[in-house]
Structure 1
Amino acid sequence: MDSILFATLVGAAVGALGTGLGAVIVFFIRIRGKRLSAVLMGLSAGIMLSVVLFDMLPESVESAGWPLALIWFLVGAAVLFLVNRFLPHHDVAAPEGERLVQELKQKRLVRSGLLLAVGIAVHNLPEGLALGSGLVSASGFGIGLAVLLFIHNIPEGMGLAVPLKLGGVKYSRIFLTAVLAALPMAAGALAGALVGNISPIVLGGSVAFGGGAMLCLTFSELLPQAAGLSKEWPTWAGLAAGAVGGGILVAFL
């Protein structure tokens, strides 16, 4: 029982501290003007792209194989697409005054940040399963995995914090959102510790589902909003920086 409690607490700490730290880093970035906003949105999209393509997708293929990973990846993208489609949308091009247009843009940014938090939460569940299983196993690889997951969660916290900050959300609420997105890792760690060995197919399918949802969100929300802020080089510079930086981080992990 002590080992199960320990695994659950480690899962909660790794998720909340890693994602929360990523959000806090964004708090110290001063955002002035549309160009910097476009860079940060592009950076957020680039980070998410690198995490999905260089980490989540290969991990799911290794665990579940190409056919199942691809199926669950597409299912995740389809679910996010449907959720996104049926949520209330705001027409930011409505000619009803600059102030109203700005308010609608902020609402869409907040919506994107919250959807991204949901995608991260889905992704954190299978990571928690693997962590909990590792912490109670005799191999002792759980502590090392906890450190890697902590570092891995930092860019995810940054990615979800950027649109929320640009949307005018209070720092306390951004931090709370980041922490809540990390809670499924604690639930996963508890389940992993209770069950012990988790089927690689289950883990791979879960990771693929979360990856598909996050990739769909990146292309349907983050990139279009970044391009809307600035169609010039800042958006693509941020995208490239996020993709390269995220790819380097994934490579070292």
Structure 2
Amino acid sequence: MSTMILKTIGARQGNPARRTAGILIAIAGALILAAQGIGAGLDALTRPAVGAALEGGLIAALATAAGAFPVLLARNISGRSVDTLLGFGAGVMLAATAFSLVLPAIDAAGALGFGRFGASGIVTSGLALGALALLATDRLLPHEHVEGAAGDGGTSSARVWLFVAAIALHNVPEGLAIGVGFGQESLSRATALASGIALQDIPEGLVVAAAIVAAGYGRGLAFAVAAASGLAEPVAALAGAALVGVFGTLLPWALAFAGGAMLFVVAHEIIPESQRRGHRTAASLGLVAGFCLMMLLDTALG
């Protein structure tokens, strides 16, 4: 009886040599798959579109720095001017979402063989996922909204730095949109998208720098921090272009996801801030002007 039990246990344990060989085969397979994935990633990083996306992200980061530059020169910047520029940036982003992300996403889904309803469903789902992802990030990560950081009646240092972190966080979907945009076939449309996002980053950099100055910090530090807040864009642009390069079928989803994220940022942050100080007419006119300019850029270059 004991002999049978020992044989049963030995059978369950299996041959140690075979077990070792199986583990080695599994490890070798995992290494091969990892090497293939790394190779695909390196191939994606060497694609011209990835280099163009990185350039677009760097230009957007420079635009943020350019927007912050006036704090080094001007003593006072009127609230009406800031709100008009914010409205302008909101209009640019809305048009960029519509003409450079949503419509190309529908075309990309159609190119994959989906019909009109299927393509619309993919884009709708991607938009919803992008907006929900930004909503979850907004709820989970500690940060300060624009109206809280730049509100009247004093500005605490902690709230200002949380606000700066929020701006840097919101630059991620913009950079992602640039990278994904360059992953599509239309280079001219991607260029228009990157140009529009760079235009929108100018007032954003100004708002960040002004909030830091209002908290009592030096103008040089305000400029440096505002410029640094835009560095998330080239990193996200590089990641977005590389991802689409490896997984080409993700293009319609990625375009729509970036569009949903940008829509959330515009509706949740930029438009409310542009109208917070009561300059609604100026902000609204700026929005219309920004939308029209971005539409002209997209149609003229596309």
Q: What TM-score do you get using the length of structure 2 for normalisation?
A: 0.64
Q: Is the 8 Å Cα contact of residues 73 and 210 (structure 1) preserved in structure 2?
A: yes
Runs of 4+ residues deviating >6 angstroms: 102-105
Q: 1:26 aligns with which of 59, 67, 90?
A: 67
1:11-37 Cα offsets, whole Å, 9 max, x none, are 423431x21342244245556121112
1:147-179 Cα offsets, whole Å, 9 max, x none, are 666645532533643442343373333333323
Higher Cα Rg, which structure: 2
Question: The residue matched to 2:276 in structure 1 has which SS?
Answer: helix
Between the aligned residues of both structures, percent identity stands at: 19
Q: Is the 8 Å Cα contact of residues 128 and 187 (structure 1) preserved in structure 2?
A: no
Query: What residue is the counterpart of 1:66 in the other structure?
Result: 120
Q: 2:274 aligns with which of 210, 226, 232?
A: 226
Gaps of 5+ in 1: 135-140
Over 3 Å counting, the alpha-carbon distance change for 1:176 and 1:99 in structure 2 is: closer
Structure-to-structure mapping, 1:1-253, within 5 angstroms: 5=46, 7=48, 8-16=50-58, 18-28=59-69, 32-64=77-109, 65-88=119-142, 98-100=153-155, 110=164, 113-130=167-184, 151=195, 153-158=197-202, 160-168=204-212, 170-190=222-242, 195=246, 198-199=248-249, 202-253=250-301
- Separation in 2 of the partners of 1:157 and 1:235? 16
Query: What residue is the counterpart of 2:218 in the other structure?
Result: none
Moved more, 182-191 or 30-39: 182-191
Q: Is the 8 Å Cα contact of residues 46 and 239 (structure 1) preserved in structure 2?
A: yes
State the Cα distance separating 1:231 from its structure 2 match. 4.0
Higher RCO (CA < 8 A, seq sep 6+):
1
2:248 maps to amino acid: I
The count of corresponding residues between Structure 1 and Structure 2 is 235
Gaps of 5+ in 2: 1-41, 110-118, 213-220
- Separation in 1 of the partners of 2:157 and 2:67? 21
Question: The residue matched to 2:248 in structure 1 has which SS?
Answer: coil
CA RMSD of aligned residues (A): 3.5
Moved more, 203-212 or 221-230: 221-230
